[in-house]
Amino acid sequence: MNALTTLDWLVIGLYFAILIGIVIAATRHQNTSTDYFLAGRNMGFIAIGASIFASNIGSEHIVGLAGQDASTGLAMAHREAS
């Protein structure tokens, strides 16, 4: 396997710098636990629904379905379509 080049390390460093900047900007507006856990009760229903949906569909969901399907013989594509 090839080693990472200088450009690879620069992209990785830039990614983490941007990520740290977003975290610092987001945490400046959090003064209470309500701000942290409930976004200051200031989120719209679309953002809340998208968050619930994204939290429900994770890697453990996919791995769990694949394991269940392997044990029952059902193809994963059939489960997701039904």
Considering only residues 54 and 82, tell me which one the structure prediction assigns the higher pLDDT.
54
> Which structural domain, as residue segments, surrounds residue 13?
1-42
Q: Are residues 2 and 34 in the same domain?
A: yes
Residue 81 has a pLDDT of 47
Q: Are residues 28 and 63 in the same domain?
A: no
Q: Are residues 31 and 51 in the same domain?
A: no
pLDDT in tens, 35-67: 777 777 888 889 888 887 877 777 777 777 777
Q: Are residues 57 and 31 in the same domain?
A: no
Amino acid found at 61? H
- Report if pTM > 0.85: no
- Sign for the pseudo-dihedral over CA of 12, 17, 18, 20: positive
Tally the domains of the chain.
Answer: 2
Q: Are residues 1 and 38 in the same domain?
A: yes
Q: Are residues 74 and 59 in the same domain?
A: yes
pLDDT in tens, 9-40: 999 999 999 999 999 988 887 888 877 777 77
